[in-house]
Chains A and B, each alone.
Chain A
Amino acid sequence: MIIANNVTKQYGKLKALDNVSVKCNRGECVVLIGPNGSGKTTLIKCILGMAIPDSGFITFNNKNINKDWMYREAIGYMPQIGKYPENMTIGQVLGMMKDIRGGELTLDEDLISGFNLNALMNKRMGTLSGGTTQKVSAALAFLFNPAVLILDEPTAGLDPIASEIFKEKIKIEKENGKLILVTSHILSDLDDLVSEVIYMQDGKLCFHQSIELLRDQTGEEKLARAVASIMIKNTSSYNIIQ
């Protein structure tokens, strides 16, 4: 569904993405992991067309996304740090997004009711706490029933209850055959969701494997431990105290 081909992106001298090629298909739940600054968010931004790759290309449903914008209709994006116009209320932001997307969409308001956002509709975005903003971002990402969900650090600011609701929702959507692309550091959150793991480091894609294979290779049952054992093998950026 999403294919990235030799994507390279440079910010000044820093190579944020170095010849990255990825292929993600329907019904998968792909987790992107890697140390801070390894290019996960940049890759997501390239897929969304918010950053433009210096070389290489990305296709979405076999169409090059360069110069295209309608493909974003099929993507729900939850940013790492949601930024919204400060003096709009939650209700206005949701209304605006519905208005902009237009058409007859089947709206999925599960998360709005799940997070109890209906009670907060008149609050201004500027006055919200980080966690509530995250909830709004999550609700927006799922609102239009998109075929692809891109979630950047989704559970980082959520409280345990919200986080549970959110994971349940991801599970349901995965079973509905949607592609879910998640970046996260909290791997224990994702144990029973993930089907594929992509590991990135210094802008390079280190490996892309199914979770079963990873478990077999490392002999670890838990995702977090499996990844940690690989990170330690690969990493030079952490000098772990021994």
Chain B
Amino acid sequence: MKKIVKYILTDILRSKILIIYGFVLLTTSLSLFGLEDNTNKGLLSLLNIILIIVPLFSLLFSTIYIYNSTEFIELLVSQPLQRKSIWLSFFVGLIISLSLAFIVGIGIPVLIFQFNSIGFLLLLVGVLLSVIFIAIALWAAVQIRDKAKGIGLAILLWMYFSLLFDGFVLFLLFQFAEYPLEKPMLLVSAFNPIDLGRILILLKLDISAMMGYTGAIFKDFFGTNIGLLLAFIILSIWVFIPMYFSTRKFSRKDL
């Protein structure tokens, strides 16, 4: 498996898109920290950008990479290699390369301007989001044979997680405004890794007061160590479930 990962990594790192991605993240974060005199504000702006760009790029890059590697996958499958280890190698190769780009692009400026627990949390959430959306992309790519449809599904999934889901939550809140929804909201937030990541960091930034009573409930829950741990467990489940299903599907797929 190590050998396959090595070849996948050299293949990915050869493409310039990843370097551009890292560079865009680097310039954005440097300019954001440079614009704000308060680094907390800079971090907040950066957070909003990370939560949009990182999932989108991870999804698209991974789906397109898998579709473009069809030949490579076919070549590997006819060799004495286990399908599961081929698929996991692709997963690991994508994780290493995309996390590397993220850590170079966001990590360096954050460590310069915000060398504290919030900075580290932001990096951790960013890397976890990359991993989650790589896993989701692999699932989409293994389910659908057609490249255009697969990429379309990836974009739809991204729209769901970053736009539609929030709309759905707002709709729920307005429809059931008479009911105490603060606690169910905790549960609902588990269904979207992007929201969960946002909540975790906003709470650390001590601006939860801006989120009203729901914010207070969130603070009560995610502010504790157990809540934090639970949030990370939920994020890990978001990695594990798509990966489990895509590996299972790939082991039985006809190539």
**A interface residues, Cβ below 8 angstroms from B:** 11, 45, 48-52, 69-73, 77, 79, 83-88, 96-97, 99-102
Contacts and interface: CB of A to CB of B under 8 A. Distances in A.
Contacts of B76: 100
Contacts of A77: 78
Given A45-B254, A100-B3, A79 B79 contact: no
Given A52-B252, A87-B14, A100-B4, A72 B72 contact: no
A99 B78 contact: no
Contacts of A102: 3
Contact of A97 (B77, B79, B83): B79
B75 interface: yes
B255 A100 contact: no
Chain A CB within 10 A, most for which of B75, B83, B252: B75
Contacts of A97: 79
Contacts of B74: 50, 79, 83
Contacts of A71: 80
Contacts of A84: 71-72, 75
Chain B CB within 10 A, most for which of A11, A50, A97, A102: A50
Contacts of B72: 84-85
Interface residues of B, number: 22
A110 to B, nearest CB: 21
13 contacts: A49-B77, A50-B255, A51-B254, A52-B254, A69-B82, A70-B80, A72-B81, A79-B78, A84-B71, A85-B71, A85-B75, A87-B14, A100-B76
A50 B80 contact: no
A88 B7 CA distance: 10
Contacts of B4: 100
Interface of B: 3-4, 7, 11, 14, 69-72, 74-83, 252, 254-255
A101 B7 contact: no
A87 B72 CA distance: 11
Contacts of A70: 80
Given A45-B255, A77-B78, A84-B75, 7 more contacts: A11-B254, A45-B254, A85-B72, A85-B75, A87-B14, A97-B79, A100-B4
Contacts of B255: 45, 50-51
A153 to B, nearest CB: 15
A67 to B, nearest CB: 9
Chain A CB within 10 A, most for which of B14, B77, B78, B252: B78
Contact of B254 (A50, A85, A100): A50
A70 B4 CA distance: 16
Contacts of B254: 11, 45, 50-52
Nearest to A126: B71
Nearest to A52: B252
B197 to A, nearest CB: 34
Contact of B81 (A50, A52, A85, A100): A100
B3 to A, nearest CB: 6
Given A52-B254, A96-B7, A101 B79 contact: yes
B250 to A, nearest CB: 11
Nearest to A86: B71
A96 to B, nearest CB: 6
Give the 7 A-B residue pairs with the shortest CB-CB distance, closest first. A83-B71, A73-B80, A72-B80, A51-B254, A85-B72, A50-B255, A69-B82
B147 to A, nearest CB: 15
B184 to A, nearest CB: 43
A69 B78 contact: no
Nearest to A88: B11
Given A45-B254, A50-B74, A100-B3, A85 B79 contact: no
A69 B81 contact: yes
A87 B69 CA distance: 11
Contact of B11 (A11, A52, A72, A85): A85
B77 A50 contact: yes
